[in-house]
Amino acid sequence: MLLLNISQLSAQNNAKIRKARHVTASCEEIAGLPYFREAIKNSDMPARISSLRIALVIAMLLFFAGAYAQVPVNFSAESYTNGKGDTLYYRQLIPDANPKRRYPLLVFLHGSGERGSDNISQLKWGVMNFAAEQNLLKYPAVIIAPQCPANASWTGIARDRSAGIVPLAPAPTKPMELLLALIKKIKAEGQIDTSRIYITGLSMGGFGTFDAIEREPGLFAAAVPVCGGGDPARAPAIAKIPLWIFTGSEDPGVIPEFSLNMLTALWKAGARPGFTMLPEVGHFSWLGAYTDPLMIEWLFRQRK
């Protein structure tokens, strides 16, 4: 019965196996397949036990192949190192092999749960919506998704939860410093439409979105901060940047006041930002934000 089930599973996963064929050798080493083959050949163990071991090895191979197949290979693994030797890891998507075109640049900032150094976790939420084939065909863009290291942040000063504000720190954090330098480097290389540089982020990345535009208001054509917050005192400096702010009305982690205070300050400064407070939604307001076709269409219409 076990062999029959494994055989059926194998048939269902042939496509994944073909995609991961080049990692089979390393998987075999991990699973110990060469050992089992030799052991079975030189031993008198019952055929049933031998078959069971091979079945388990095949199951492990399918697991590794399936995990590999889920890696978004359309995002290449990249890194940026400044003159001081500091490095920022990021993923990059190029929408098409067409050197005649200059595509917009979309910068995506992840939340605190995706920090680290694996250069893959930052793709867990949100950004894959922009990379979906139907969206990429309609709104082609170069997409970069940097990963903030563990125990670091996109913003420098701890948020004031009671006041619902995040004062802008005098200097950016190291990840934000590297990110802004990377964006300027990509801009200088002349491969993107420099009038269409967009930035968005969720949770910690929503705070990072405000931090980035408050430091470099002339760099961005539009921004979409999701369940984030910023410094209301900096509202006049970013009033001319098209913004669409998202939050959940029942967010227990990043209370809506962070977004509402920025909305109020921006309105007083003469801005007319988009604002969406999703009813009956807690912290995961990005699920509504990044699946909103109106927001995506609006974002890619913006130019400096």
Q: Which two tokens stand for residue 166?
A: 């995040």
Q: What is the DSSP string of 100-156?
A: T--EEEEEEE--GGG-SSSSSGGGSSSHHHHHSHHHHHHS--EEEEEEPPTT--S-S
Residue 293 to residue 289: CA distance in whole angstroms: 9
- Band (pLDDT 50/70/90 cuts) for residue 223 is very high
Distance CA 217, CA 199 (A): 11
What's the pTM value of the predicted model, to 2 decimals? 0.77
Asked if residue 112 and residue 57 are part of one domain, the reply reads no
The number of distinct structural domains making up the chain is: 2
Please give the residue range of the domain that contains residue 175: 76-301
Q: 81: domain CATH number? A: 3.40.50.1820
The pLDDT confidence band at residue 59, using thresholds 50, 70 and 90, is low
pLDDT tops 50 at residue 11: no
Domain's final residue, options 29, 52, 69: 69
Q: Are residues 26 and 170 in the same domain?
A: no
Q: Express each pLDDT in 165-217 by its tens digit.
A: 999 999 999 999 999 999 999 999 999 999 999 999 999 999 999 999 999 99
d(CA 31, CA 28): 5
Average pLDDT, the chain: 84
Task: Please state the φ and ψ torsions of residue 102, each to the nearest 5 degrees.
Answer: -115, 110
Which residue is listed with tokens 């995706």? 114
N residues, the chain? 304
- Considering the domain architecture, whether residues 184 and 290 belong to the same structural domain is answered as yes
* Same-domain pairing of 64 and 208: no
Predicted local confidence at residue 159, as pLDDT:
77
Element (H, E) at 211: helix 204-215
